[in-house]
Amino acid sequence: MRAFANLLERQAFTPARNAKLRLLRHYLEATPDPDRGFALAALTGDLKLRTVTPGLLRGLMVERVDEQLFALSYDFVGDLAETIALLWDTDRDEDVPLHQAVALLSETGKAGLPAAIAGMLDRLGPSQRLAFLKLATGNMRIGLSARMARMALAEMGVPDVAQIEEIWHGLTPPYQPLFDWIAGGTRPEHAAKAPFRPVMLSTPVDLDQLQAFDPADYIAEWKWDGIRVQAINDGGVRRLYSRTGEDISGSFPDLIEALEFDGAVDGELLVRRGDDVAVFGDLQKRLGRKQVGKTILDSHPASLRVYDLMIWQGRDLRDLPLVDRRAVLEGADFGNDRIDVSPLLDFTTWDDLAALRAEPPVPVIEGVMIKRRDSVYVGGRPRGPWFKWKRDPHVVDAVLLYAQRGHGKRSGFYSDFTFGLWDADQLVPVGKAYFGFTDEELRELDRFVRNNTIERFGPVRSIAPKLVLEVAFEGLNASGRHKSGVAMRFPRISRIRWDKPAVEADHLSTLKAMIL
């Protein structure tokens, strides 16, 4: 496991994408089976192990070290796994095979888990302890996406990333048939029909950038506030995948039942009542559910708005120009009113499109999608064929209330910030953000947190309400789970308002007025 620990450490402190890919590729090429397969599964989130809770780990620590020393160390380090890895007292540093650690975490019963974990930690040095604890808690957070992992695999041998993604959901760790294929063997037989095909993604654009292109070469359609999905009916086998290939069929049995066509389509998953598209918060109530009762099926009906056709009636359309695929799409019969086609927008100039974007017909529209008429359908994010021009974000001025240590390369900084707005004469927390600022701004924020702490709660600090943060966010929904009654979508810190006093921050009523 020493090599796996080294991989995690180097990935966490390597920001460059290509360098991350090289590190992973070298690890996979040099590591024997089955360890490399289990490492790959851990990095892609596909390794399902018994959950090890923070409470269990804290219990092990207070048996080993002074409780106050542990509390102070945790406060300083800010990461539970890292704190334990540093404080655990043992003279041994064995190179335990990764598959042994996986077996311990997957096969040990609940009653025996604390002793088994302690025994494993006794065998490992600090670096391996940290890797083992990250494996046990499922908290990798090293800036490596599942798609990047599959790109590293594609660089190793025969199949390209699109071919790997088409069979990925039918594979299980430690992926021996996949590695055999990469080495020049035969393609693994797919475990099921209805394979996932890599989804084509877009790049952000603005009006100034669009001026370099001829609008006659493009079509445009609304960008709806749902989630991108791929819906498949392959010989009666029906599946619904997220854009990353996660099978979400079980959460949407009503839509699965409606997939009466023969093919694979690309579209937006929405909650739609008649012609009215609901806000994202309504869709969110359906996401991730293992059991979907009749009540929510009736109150939050799922629907699909189709953008593109990938496979249709046994024919692969992905190599055709978009206008040809669109012609087939517009003539397609989906056989169910839960499925409709995304309409095209009528524009001649980019200014025409800008005017449409500025005043969409319904508030749940996020912006516009812009696509080259001659673009073929390729997986991933090729730069140029497709663009997304999102609406301008909402912005509020909020007051910094709490700060928490980050993880990985940010574990030495306070980088997770909770902010609030005024409700009468009280500040009410309304959200949390941990990106949007530069490295230099992070250092400034960290310094402010340390100099203005008024209370400590483990790794969290309560901050004197002095600093105003300009917070940008994509959307807002009413929420009964939050004290403020609202939930922001994708909040980030867009500016630090060192110049603005806290009393001039926005009020909760201002935020609530933005709810759709």
399 with 371, same domain: the answer is no
Helix axes 35-44, 98-107, angle to 10 degrees: 60
**Residue 169: its pLDDT value, please?**
76
443 with 504, same domain: the answer is yes
**Residue 365: its pLDDT value, please?**
93
75 with 27, same domain: the answer is yes
Has 223 been annotated as catalytic?
Answer: yes
Q: From CA 374, how far away is CA 306, in angstroms rounded?
A: 19
Q: From CA 150, how far away is CA 168, in angstroms rounded?
A: 9
Q: From CA 195, how far away is CA 263, in angstroms rounded?
A: 11
For residue 202, pLDDT over 90 is answered with: yes
CATH number at residue 297: 3.30.470.30
Cα torsion 342, 345, 351, 352 to 10°: value is -150
CATH number at residue 493: 2.40.50.140
For residue 191, pLDDT over 70 is answered with: no
Length of the chain: 516
**Residue 190: its pLDDT value, please?**
61
Residue 322 lies in a domain: yes
Residue 282 lies in a domain: yes
Q: 334 vs 264, 304, 367, CA distance in Å?
A: 11, 11, 26
Q: What is the residue whose two structure tokens read 């009540």?
A: 295
Q: From CA 460, how far away is CA 425, in angstroms rounded?
A: 24
Residue 175 lies in a domain: no
Residue 156: DSSP 8-state? T
Q: From CA 7, how far away is CA 31, in angstroms rounded?
A: 11
325 with 406, same domain: the answer is no
| Average pLDDT rounded to a whole number, residues 488-499 | 91
For residue 412, pLDDT over 80 is answered with: no
Domain span holding position 118: 2-137
For residue 338, pLDDT over 70 is answered with: yes
**Residue 25: its pLDDT value, please?**
96
**Residue 291: its pLDDT value, please?**
85
Q: Which of 357, 390, 423 is the last residue of a domain?
A: 390
Per-residue pLDDT reduced to its tens digit, 210-242: 999 999 999 999 999 899 999 999 999 999 999
99 with 215, same domain: the answer is no
Tell me which residue of 297, 218, 207 sits closest to 251, measured CA to CA: 297
Q: Which of 350, 369, 390 is the last residue of a domain?
A: 390
C-beta separation of 306 from 265 below 8 A: yes
Any idea what the Cα angle at residue 248 is, between residues 243 and 251, rounded to 5°?
A: 140
Structural tokens at position 416:
């997770």
pLDDT grade, residue 192 (50/70/90)?
A: low
Maximum Cα interatomic distance, the chain, rounded to a whole number of Å? 73
Lowest mean pLDDT segment, chosen from 71-80, 175-184, 371-380, 497-506: 71-80
**What rounded mean pLDDT belongs to the chain?**
91
**Residue 459: its pLDDT value, please?**
76
**Residue of 10 and 458 predicted with greater confidence:** 10
| Catalytic residue (choose from 20, 134, 223, 371) | 223
CATH number at residue 18: 1.10.3260.10
Q: Please count the structural domains in the chain.
A: 3
Structural tokens at position 223:
């960008």
The model scores a pTM over 0.75? no
pLDDT grade, residue 516 (50/70/90)?
A: low
**Residue 194: its pLDDT value, please?**
86
**Residue of 98 and 391 predicted with greater confidence:** 98
Residue 398 lies in a domain: yes
437 with 486, same domain: the answer is yes
Q: From CA 468, how far away is CA 504, in angstroms rounded?
A: 9
Q: 179 vs 15, 40, 186, CA distance in Å?
A: 27, 11, 10
Q: 347 vs 342, 352, 362, 448, CA distance in Å?
A: 16, 5, 18, 49
Q: Which of 322, 356, 390 is the last residue of a domain?
A: 390
354 with 400, same domain: the answer is no
Q: From CA 479, how far away is CA 515, in angstroms rounded?
A: 10
Per-residue pLDDT reduced to its tens digit, 138-171: 888 777 888 889 899 999 988 988 888 878 877 8
Residue 186 lies in a domain: no
309 with 415, same domain: the answer is no
345 with 476, same domain: the answer is no
Residue 146 lies in a domain: no
Per-residue pLDDT reduced to its tens digit, 415-435: 999 999 999 999 999 999 998
Structural tokens at position 35:
């360890």
**Residue 158: its pLDDT value, please?**
84
Q: Please report how many Cα atoms fall inside a 13 Å half-sphere around the Cα of residue 407, on the Cβ side.
A: 13
C-beta separation of 56 from 121 below 8 A: no
Residue 20 lies in a domain: yes
Residue 409 lies in a domain: yes
For residue 321, pLDDT over 80 is answered with: yes
**Residue 337: its pLDDT value, please?**
92
For residue 49, pLDDT over 90 is answered with: no
